[in-house]
């Protein structure tokens, strides 16, 4: 007999607004912002682009990463992610392997082969055991699902720390 553990999120997110957030508004706020102009985060937070097809996983990732102090944007498929990455220039792209139109590994290859995007850190986060394939595709790190808040946030922080020296070296060259 298998055990199943459920982690319940707070009903309301921690918005700094005087207006109460309804469940409908909360879900709308977690959807990708399609018409936002690509600008660096005004608060100096690292920008993370998450490519995930499952809306429940997107909601959890958004909650965990926002609570950790990161700016988060989303794409539901690989083609949209590539376009969004060109506009947004995120610090990290977190992608699932099984996303529509352009799978996560092909997205990794496309990002790492694009001179304007190759500096972006790629984190493959999947239920499939494809660590070696992810590495061959150019991924900087791999995490196996299920989603665990501490593991996800700690990995993102470590990748950002490792990335900082290499971007300053690349800027000098």
**pLDDT value of position 14:** 42
Average pLDDT score, the chain: 75
Q: pLDDT band for position 162 (50/70/90)?
A: confident
Distance CA(26)–CA(131), nearest Å, equals 34
Distance CA(52)–CA(49), nearest Å, equals 10
Q: What's the gap between Cα 23 and its chain centre?
A: 23
Residue 3 lies inside a defined structural domain of this protein? no
Among candidate residues 99, 61, 54, the one with its CA nearest the CA of residue 80: 99
Q: In the chain, how many domains are there? A: 1
Distance CA(173)–CA(170), nearest Å, equals 5
Query: How many C-beta atoms lie closer than 10 Å to residue 49's C-beta?
Result: 25
Residue 93 lies inside a defined structural domain of this protein? yes
Residue 6 lies inside a defined structural domain of this protein? no
Residue 26 lies inside a defined structural domain of this protein? no
**pLDDT value of position 42:** 53
**pLDDT value of position 120:** 92
Among candidate residues 77, 45, 50, the one with its CA nearest the CA of residue 61: 50
Among candidate residues 62, 37, 49, the one with its CA nearest the CA of residue 117: 49
Q: Token pair of 115, please?
A: 């001179």
Q: What is the pLDDT of residues 21-54, one digit of tens each?
A: 333 333 223 333 333 333 345 567 899 999 998 8
Q: What is the pLDDT of residues 108-152, one digit of tens each?
A: 999 999 999 989 999 998 888 888 898 888 889 998 888 888 999
Residue 33 lies inside a defined structural domain of this protein? no
CATH number at residue 108: 3.40.50.2300
Domain that holds residue 97: 44-163
Residue 8 lies inside a defined structural domain of this protein? no
Does this model's pTM top 0.85? no
Distance CA(63)–CA(95), nearest Å, equals 17
Residue 110 lies inside a defined structural domain of this protein? yes
Residue 130 lies inside a defined structural domain of this protein? yes
């Amino acid at each position: 007999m298998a055990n199943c553990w459920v982690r319940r999120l707070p009903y309301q997110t921690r918005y700094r607004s005087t207006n109460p957030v309804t469940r409908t508004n909360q879900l709308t706020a977690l959807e990708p912002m399609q018409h936002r102009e690509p600008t660096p985060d005004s608060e100096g937070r690292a920008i993370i682009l998450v490519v995930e097809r499952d809306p429940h996983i997107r909601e959890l990732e958004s909650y965990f990463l926002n609570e950790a102090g990161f700016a988060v944007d989303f794409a539901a498929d690989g083609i949209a992610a590539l376009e969004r990455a060109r506009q947004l220039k995120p610090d990290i792209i977190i992608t699932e392997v099984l996303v529509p139109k352009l799978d996560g590994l092909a997205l990794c290859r496309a990002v790492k082969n694009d001179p304007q995007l190759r500096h972006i850190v790629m984190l493959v986060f999947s239920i499939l055991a494809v660590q070696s394939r992810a590495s061959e595709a150019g991924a900087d790190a791999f995490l196996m699902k299920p989603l665990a808040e501490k593991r996800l946030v700690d990995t993102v922080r470590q990748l950002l720390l490792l990335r900082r020296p290499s971007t300053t070296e690349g800027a000098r060259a």
